[in-house]
Chains A and B, each alone.
Chain A
Amino acid sequence: MKKEDIVEQLATGQMSRRKFNQSLMALGATMVMMPVGSRSAFAASDDHPTVFTWEGWDVPELHQSYLAKHGESPNMAIFGDEEEAFAKMRAGFKVDLTQPCTYKVPIWKDAGILEPIDTSRLSNWGDLIPSLKTIPGTFEGDKQYFIPTDWGLTSVLYRADLAPEYVGNESWGMLWDPKYKGRLSMADSLIDGVMVAAIYIGAKDPFNMTDEEMAKTRAALKEQLPLMRYYWSSPADIEQALASGELVATSAWNSSYAALKKEGFDVRYSSPKEGAMTWVCGFCLMSDHDPAKLDRIYDYLDAYASVESGVFALTEYGYGHGNLKAFAKVEQDQPGLLKELGYSVNVNETLDAGIFQAPMGNEPALQAMFEEVKAGM
């Protein structure tokens, strides 16, 4: 039966009930037989845990062994930053695993939403970089609340063709250069924004500033405000703006550098003389997780912590991975790539050179200060 016939018969009332039902059945059968791949996009089945994470870390390439074992990806929910995630979970959103960064783990632990993770159930635990396992606030005695799976840098990303004078003379001060007024940007965040200003003014401990250092940071942010095009909240913003030349320099994560480099832009990911910031993110087990899904939760964690995931994160995103063996594997398969991405072949060197992001003291005051500066006060 042709399509036109169906419409005409329906319109003129000629189609018999039986024929109509037949068409409906055919439609239903087609729907059921539609490729499984497109259906799994709607929702994984109820037996899978829900993982609350950043965009880009939800891809199947980062949990291949889970996919191989269970046939489907777990349920993925995406947050823009940890504050949003926290607000959603406090409002009743139930998830099993989250992927915050270390500086948020203590406050989440204090809020009573985290549960210790049994690391003996993870076959890849032994391969994770030891110094990342002992970041203050992420463990309590022998109770591990955090599985460090991802890390990277926050540093200045700039167009070397537009600002050639900075090659070999890199510093955070690039984001305060009046020469590029209106073509600079910084993250709209405390940890990747205000802390940059704290490092710039030379605060002794940027994460626990004295009142005097706070005042200096505020002054630096105020000085910087008229130079800013905007404060960015999504890497896509700065990647497009750097590509078009709207921005000359901005604070950024490794992935933006990797993405622009791949497109062939003359960008540099700087090593500021004051030191780049190092962030570490990873998994936390929520205390209200579904106990029936615990096996799968550990399967997921193990899959994410594997060498394969690490290789993918490094080569595709330019992000560091918790699994030490991933670095050796990348160096072996693609010699020189690590250096190009800004990592030493001896990973600990890179980790030691950076300033580790830590929980910020007096966060509400910092936030209020930042809001006021942004409002022009």
Chain B
Amino acid sequence: MPGEASSPGIMLLAYHLPNRLLGLSKQNLSLMSRTAMSLQSFGSTIRRRFLESEALRGFGLLSPTLLAMVFGLAMPLLILFTLSFWLQDYVDFIKTFSWKNYSDFFAKPIYGMILIKSIKISGVVTLATVLLAYPMAYFIAFRVQKNKLVWLILITVPFWTSYLLRVFAWKVMLGYNGVVNSGLKSIGLISEPLEFLLYNPFAVTITLAHAWAAFAILPIYVSLEKIDRSLLEAARDLGENAFMSFVRVTLPLSMPGVIAASLLVFIPTVGDYVTPSLVGGPSGIMIGNIIQSMFGKAFNWPLGAAISVMSMLTVTAMICLFLWGTHRFRRKIA
């Protein structure tokens, strides 16, 4: 059981935490449980403490979310982390600490190479998505006067279908006898279907850029919408032309939206495995496919966990780099 290693610590915490919070000692507790009277006072103590302590009330309000975070995110992450230091032996785990998975990660060039490729693909996807989403968001924020909500809903309409369906739609578009090929054929531009459209990194990039567009449009729209229009007027009054006032006022003020959009697209697409496995072909595989194969076909969970951890660390590093870069960029143009 992967969870075993972490369970004693959690148990200990679960035992001590409530007592600490309530300021009760063990003796106090056992004394009170003896009589009904003290039980009653126990109840009122809790009540009083709860109402007095702001922190406790805060925790009380947070608790559903906190529990969901701990059990849904922190625990699995801890298990994954623990797993990455074990080893696979045929059908069993060797549960002793080892760096072997990590040294394997660095010793075999395949993992690093595919991780870099995934980051490249996601980088291009992010760039394309943000560049395409920005004009759309700009249009809704500045040009649309009436029924903005309708426009926003219209943008999300393609996302009402399932993700898988959208990937398959691109398969139909780019396929051998697909929309693009048969269209080009019917107007006589090509005689044989183009084969480079599908089953390569190009197809993965297009599909991902389309599938994640809504996640870029909405945050950019929100930050553009918030911009005080009088600032733009002031820029024009002070003699900047339309382009420069965009570069020096609109763009820096919408940067939070651009950053949010970039992160929202970049982080999930690095680890995506459905899209590359459906439209990627042999040359379009990404790190998600490798991890999936480690947990499935290759049956080496610890190595898969180590690759996951490495991929998470790399993505974190990339994001820090990105945030640092955008920070400098904002200071430069502001």
Contacts and interface: CB of A to CB of B under 8 A. Distances in A.
Interface of A: 81, 83-84, 86-87, 107, 110-111, 182, 189-190, 225, 228-231, 233, 241, 244-246, 364, 367-368, 371-372, 374-377
A106 to B, nearest CB: 11
Given A364-B300, A367-B297, A182 B195 contact: yes
B323 interface: no
A231 B293 CA distance: 14
A287 to B, nearest CB: 14
Contacts of B113: 375, 377
Contacts of A110: 90-91
B176 A246 contact: yes
B176 A245 contact: yes
Contacts of A364: 298-300
Contacts of A84: 296
B199 A83 contact: no
Q: Report the 5 A-B pairs with minimum CB-CB distance, sorted nearest first.
A: A246-B176, A111-B91, A367-B298, A230-B281, A83-B297
Contacts of B128: none
A111 B89 CA distance: 11
Nearest to B92: A111
Q: Which residue of A86, A87, A245, A368 has the most chain B CB atoms within 10 A of its CB atom?
A: A368
B293 A367 contact: yes
Nearest to B177: A244
Given A376-B283, A377-B109, A86 B195 contact: no
Given A110-B91, A246-B176, A246-B177, A371 B281 contact: no
Contacts of A225: 282
A130 to B, nearest CB: 30
A233 B113 CA distance: 24
8 contacts: A233-B277, A246-B193, A364-B298, A367-B293, A367-B297, A371-B290, A371-B298, A374-B282
Nearest to B300: A364
Contacts of A83: 296-297, 299
Given A225-B282, A231-B282, A377 B110 contact: yes
Chain B's interface size range is: 20 to 34
Contacts of B110: 371-372, 375, 377
Nearest to A181: B195
A93 B317 CA distance: 36
Given A246-B177, A371-B298, A375-B113, 19 more contacts: A83-B299, A86-B299, A87-B295, A110-B90, A228-B281, A229-B199, A229-B281, A230-B199, A241-B176, A245-B177, A246-B175, A246-B193, A367-B293, A371-B293, A375-B285, A376-B282, A377-B109, A377-B110, A377-B113
**Main DSSP-derived SS at the B contact region:** loop
B150 to A, nearest CB: 24
Interface string B266-300: 00000000000100011101000010010111111
Contact of B298 (A231, A233, A368, A376): A368
Q: Which residue of A182, A189, A230, A368 has the most chain B CB atoms within 10 A of its CB atom?
A: A230
B227 interface: no
A340 B108 CA distance: 48
B297 A190 contact: yes
Interface in B74-91: 90-91
Q: Which residue of A245, A371, A376 has the most chain B CB atoms within 10 A of its CB atom?
A: A371
B224 to A, nearest CB: 39
Interface string B156-182: 000000000000000000011100000
Contacts of A241: 176
Interface in B298-322: 298-300
Nearest to B297: A83
Interface string B191-215: 0010100010000000000000000
Nearest to A243: B177
Contacts of A375: 110, 113-114, 285
A366 B295 CA distance: 16
Contacts of A246: 175-177, 193
A101 B311 CA distance: 34
Nearest to B2: A91
Q: Which residue of B199, B297, B300 has the most chain A CB atoms within 10 A of its CB atom?
A: B297
A107 B91 contact: yes
Interface in B85-120: 90-91, 108-110, 113-114
Nearest to B299: A83
A230 B175 CA distance: 13
Contacts of A231: 282
Interface in B54-80: none
A194 to B, nearest CB: 11
Interface string B214-225: 000000000000
A279 to B, nearest CB: 17
A87 B282 contact: no
Nearest to A107: B91
A87 B298 contact: no
Contacts of A87: 295-296, 299
Contacts of B176: 241, 244-246
B15 to A, nearest CB: 27
B281 to A, nearest CB: 4
Contacts of B281: 228-230
Contacts of B283: 376
A189 B297 CA distance: 8
A107 B89 CA distance: 12
A84 B293 CA distance: 10
A225 B195 CA distance: 15
A374 B195 contact: no
A228 to B, nearest CB: 6
Nearest to B200: A230
A368 B114 CA distance: 14
Contacts of B295: 87
Contacts of A111: 91
Contacts of A107: 90-91
Nearest to A81: B297
Contacts of A190: 297
A189 B299 CA distance: 13
Contacts of B193: 246
A82 B283 CA distance: 25
Contacts of A374: 282, 285
Contacts of B285: 374-375
A139 to B, nearest CB: 20
A233 B177 CA distance: 20
